[in-house]
């Protein structure tokens, strides 16, 4: 005698949720990296970002973003002027140094 298994609504919903989580883009998030009060933001697409010098210490902040192979995709500097300095990357960034 064979037993047939019929999917329930719960099992179908769980399978669809697992597929949605697995197929969701892994890099879709904004990242912030800081050193003291200075910080750098990486956009959700990892193809642009900004650097913000928030300390009035006379020292500019330099931020460099790198791709998966370790090559620099952008170098931005903010010297304490009003606001943050923004830039587009030459590739997709996976790491950043402030």
Going residue by residue through the chain (98 aa), what tens digit of pLDDT does each one get? 454 445 454 444 333 333 333 333 454 678 999 999 999 999 999 999 999 999 988 899 999 999 999 999 999 999 877 789 999 999 999 999 99
Q: Tell whether 59 is covered by a domain.
A: yes
Determine the 3-state secondary structure of 90 from DSSP. Answer: coil
Q: Tell whether 63 is covered by a domain.
A: yes
**What is the domain range of residue 76?**
27-97
Q: Tell whether 65 is covered by a domain.
A: yes
The torsion angles phi and psi of 44, rounded to 5 degrees, stand at -60, -30
Per the structure, the count of domains in the chain is: 1
Report d(CA 10, CA 7) in Å as an integer.
8
pTM of whole model > 0.75? no
Q: Tell whether 1 is covered by a domain.
A: no
Q: DSSP letter for 7, please.
A: P
């Amino acid at each position: 005698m064979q037993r047939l298994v019929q999917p329930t609504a719960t099992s179908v919903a769980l399978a669809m949720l697992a597929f949605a989580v697995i197929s969701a883009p892994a890099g879709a998030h904004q990242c912030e990296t800081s050193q003291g009060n200075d910080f750098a933001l990486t956009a959700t697409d990892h193809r642009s970002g900004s650097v913000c010098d928030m300390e009035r210490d006379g020292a500019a902040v330099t931020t460099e973003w790198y791709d998966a192979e370790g090559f620099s995709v952008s170098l931005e500097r903010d010297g304490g002027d009003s606001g943050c300095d923004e830039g587009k990357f030459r590739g997709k960034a996976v790491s950043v140094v402030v």
